[in-house]
Every structure is written in C-alpha cells, then in structure tokens.
Amino acid sequence: MKVPWAGRPRAWMLVAGIVTAALVALLSIAGPPDIPPARRQAVGKTASATTNATARVVAVSAQGSGTDRLGPLLRANEAFAQDTVFLVAASVRARCDPAHAHDLAAMAAQARLPMLAGVTEAIGEQTDMRDYLLAAVRDIAQRAPCSGPFDMSVGDFVQRVDVVRYAAAFPDSYFDPAMTATPQEFAGRSLADRAHDECGKVAYAVLPLDAPRAWQCAGLRAQGRTRVRALCQQIGEADTAAVQIREAVGRMPPTCQ
C-alpha cells in the first residue's frame, strides 16, 4: 500500500546517491572480500584478543599523512565525526560481511540522515583533506576487528566503536556511536530487514531523526514511527491510511511533532 509520504522525493534520492558513491569508493579499497565469513569472525576475535566483557579494547589508529590535521577537525565538528564513524563502520562491514555491505547506506537514506554534510562542512573542497580522510578510513577499516569494541583514533580524535552493535542500533547510533542498547522501536528486526522496509520510509518521512528536539520526545516519536509503520502495512485505501497517520502524529504534543 502506498501513502503520500511513501514516494522517493528528490532530496531522499540525492542522499542515497551521495552515500552510495562514497561507499563505492571505500568498498573498492576496504580489502579483499574472498575470506570466508567464519575466517573473518576468527580474525576479528583474534584482533580483539578475546570476546569476554573484561577484554582489553583494541586500539586502531590511522597511520599516514594528514591525521594531525584531521584530528582537531573531528573533535570540533560532531557531524564530521559522525560521518567518519559511519564510513569506518560501513567499510568494516564490507570487509567482514560483504553480503550486507550496503545495508547501512540504505538505512541512512531511508532515515534521511544528514550524510556527508559534516564532511563537506569540515573540509569543503580541500582535495588533500578528502584524500587524507579516505586513507584514514581505509587504514582503520582494514585493521579493525569484525566484532567487539575497538578505539578508533585519527590524530587526537578517539571514538569507541562496536560495528555489530552500531549496525544493530542504526540509524539512531549515527548520532550516538557509543550506544550499546538497540532501540525498542526496532522490535528485534535486523538492519537488513529494516533497511528495505517500504513502510520505514513513510515513518521516517513524517517523524525524522535529524531535527534536534527535547529528550522527552525521543520515546514518543519512536512509538509514533512504530504506529505509522503499522498503519502503512494495513490493507486499505491510501487516503484512509494517510488520514490515520496524520491523526497518529497529531495526537503527539506539538513540540514533539
């Protein structure tokens, strides 16, 4: 069933194209995809020393030129840091689980995340800085564990990342890479399942994640997206569903709409 918000507006498609283009560049340098999944998991476990909760967290530092210039920018610009963590996580997944290499990009586009806006804001058209960034992402992604937490660092910027948990909590984890709990809104559904849910596009269209709001609204908006998905999935006329969706959003406090 389609409703007025279920289409793909030009802005949504532009985001998808930009993210995909960035990932294509990164996936082509993320490392060979011919290592069996079981071997990849073993490599990740070896790199992280052990899988128990008390294990020492692996430190993976970007090497090469430009990291001393990137570090301060990443510390000063949260959006730039969020984009960089996303690119690292997407590249690690491409190396460790190529069958799901594009799920993060698909989910980012569906949720209308401000992808790569932080990169543009921080380094603009500085070609050398873009090259430094891609080199840093590639270097970290090639050496990061496939599972378990690690501390990625670029110059004096450090961020703890667990790619498996990051993917499970995405797109919410884009704004909080260190989050460990998967939002209840996802109801146990995998990233792959959610990333290709047509009704998810409707939910994020009417209740997006990108605008800052009071923390009290987070739960209400998550519940609202769950309700919108349910209404979208119901068999019926599009016009009726649209009215019901508007009513569901309208019942929320105005500050949370």
For 175-222, what is each residue's pLDDT tens digit? 999 998 999 999 889 999 999 998 999 999 989 987 667 777 888 899
pLDDT at residue 244 greater than cutoff 90: no
Residue 81 corresponds to which tokens in the numbers above? 């840091």
Burial of 235 (0-12, 13-18, 19+ CB in 10 A): exposed
pLDDT at residue 40 greater than cutoff 50: no
Give the pLDDT mean for 82-98. Answer: 96
Q: What is the 3-state secondary structure (H, E, C) of 57-94?
A: CEEEECCCCCHHHHHHHHHHCHHHHHHHHHHHHHHHHH
Q: What is the mean pLDDT of the chain?
A: 81
Distance CA 54, CA 231 (A): 44
Distance CA 149, CA 226 (A): 30
pLDDT at residue 53 greater than cutoff 80: no
Distance CA 185, CA 222 (A): 6
Say how many C-beta atoms besides its own lie within 10 A of residue 243's C-beta.
13
What is this structure's pTM?
A: 0.78
From 30-44, 109-123, 208-222, the region with the lowest mean pLDDT? 30-44
Contacts for 39 with CB less than 8 Å, ≥ 6 apart: none
